[in-house]
């Protein structure tokens, strides 16, 4: 159930009072997406119910969760850093050795929001791949509004402050008015497509690496299982899946094994991983 304009204004006011962060009317999607896990956690039926319950009896813990969900967890370039380090230090060297004949990699950033993740992946691949290699990055999201932003590749000062080393800012962005825009060459290396992960997936080809981070938390177990099964069909036998820090395939889909990847963990298809490597993840 969608939030009414009154509910949206209520949430925006709460967040502004508590954090000074202003959520404009264009943040409707963000508010609903971020509050869904909070609604689930607190036993509310949906986000509208969460807001109604809170209005009836304001609970300090719920207030804190709502504010945190809308302020501290924004997507950013190189979010969480470790998966990107694992990509360049562990995953890419292995894939480069394995794909010497095709010299091409395909990466999927699922639930890519406003595009920081696929562009971060593009920056890393451009840096790490040997000359003569090419790559395709697909960014998908359920929100066409987010995808429009991602395609434009325009980011605010606040967004480029987050997680992006200044050298990369200079190298890969250019100032356009109040925004910083991803340079055309990098923009062209990422394609975007609207996709609902919870629905049957179209044919997208097969991927060497899939970033599916901080999205399973929004789904119930059945949907998680169904998404992981669909992803398994699109992952190459020796491919790598990265989930968010609070997510796992364990107990949900045993097609995957958790493996160490640098200082973090990733998931690989049980059918494609040598037995010795299976179960090494932390």
Partner 1 sequence: MRAILIDDSRAIRMILRRIMGQIGFEVLEAEDGQQALDILAGMDGAPELALIDWNMPNMNGLEFVSAARADKSLRDMTLVMVTTESEQSQVARALAAGAHEYVIKPFTSDALIDKLALLGLVPSGANV
- Of 78 and 207, the one with the shorter C-beta distance to partner 1 is 78
Q: Considering the complex, state which of residue 72 and residue 101 has its C-beta at the smaller distance from partner 1.
A: 72
What part of residues 128-167 is at the interface with partner 1 (CB under 8 A)?
157-158, 160-163, 165-167
The nearer residue to partner 1, 132 or 177, going by C-beta atoms, is 177
* CA separation, residue 189 to residues 126, 240, 272, 277 (Å): 9, 20, 28, 32
Least Å distance, CB 261 to partner 1, is: 16
Q: Least Å distance between CB 204 and partner 1?
A: 32
DSSP H helical ranges for the chain: 5-19, 28-41, 47-56, 60-71, 82-86, 92-98, 116-128, 144-152, 157-161, 166-172, 184-188, 221-234
Give how many residues touch partner 1 by CB under 8 A. 19
What residues numbered 22-81 form the site for partner 1, per CB under 8 A? 72, 76, 80-81
Out of 89, 174, 222, 254, point to the residue binding partner 1 (CB under 8 A). 174
**In this complex, which beta carbon is closest to partner 1, that of residue 156 or of residue 271?**
156
Q: Cα(78)–Cα(189) distance, rounded to whole angstroms? A: 17
Q: Whole-number minimum distance, CB 242 to partner 1, in Å?
A: 16
DSSP 93: H
Query: CA-CA distance, 44 to 235, in Å (whole number)?
Result: 35
Q: What's the closest the beta carbon of residue 117 comes to partner 1, in angstroms?
A: 15
Question: Any idea which residues carry the catalytic annotation?
Answer: 34, 141
**In 3-state terms, what secondary structure has residue 156?**
coil
Tracing tokens 């004949």 back to the chain, one arrives at: 101
Contacts with partner 1 by CB under 8 A lie at 72, 76, 80-82, 157-158, 160-163, 165-167, 169-170, 173-175
């Amino acid at each position: 159930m969608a939030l009414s304009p009154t509910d949206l204004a209520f949430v925006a006011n709460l967040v502004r009072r508590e954090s000074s962060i202003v959520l404009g009317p264009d943040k409707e999607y963000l508010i609903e997406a971020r509050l869904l896990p909070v609604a689930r956690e607190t036993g509310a039926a949906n986000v509208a119910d969460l807001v109604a319950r809170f209005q009836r009896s304001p609970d300090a813990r719920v207030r804190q969760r709502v504010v945190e969900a809308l302020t501290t967890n924004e997507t950013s370039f190189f979010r969480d850093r470790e998966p990107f380090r694992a990509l360049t230090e562990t995953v890419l060297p292995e894939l480069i050795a394995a794909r010497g004949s095709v010299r091409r990699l395909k990466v999927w950033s699922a639930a890519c929001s406003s595009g920081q993740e696929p562009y971060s992946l593009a920056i890393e691949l451009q840096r790490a791949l040997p000359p003569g290699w090419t790559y395709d990055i697909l960014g998908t999201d359920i929100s066409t509004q987010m995808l429009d932003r991602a395609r434009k590749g325009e980011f605010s000062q606040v967004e480029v402050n987050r997680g992006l080393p200044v050298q990369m800012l200079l190298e890969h962005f250019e100032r356009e008015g109040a925004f910083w825009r991803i340079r055309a060459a990098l923009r062209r290396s990422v394609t975007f497509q609207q996709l609902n992960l919870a629905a049957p997936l179209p044919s997208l080809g097969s991927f060497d690496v899939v970033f599916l981070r901080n999205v399973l938390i929004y789904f119930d177990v059945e949907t998680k299982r169904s998404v992981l099964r669909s992803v398994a069909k699109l992952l190459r036998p020796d491919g790598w899946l990265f989930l968010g820090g609070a997510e796992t395939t364990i107990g949900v889909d045993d097609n995957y094994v958790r493996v160490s990847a640098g200082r973090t963990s990733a998931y690989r298809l049980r059918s494609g991983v040598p037995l010795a490597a299976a179960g090494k993840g932390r």
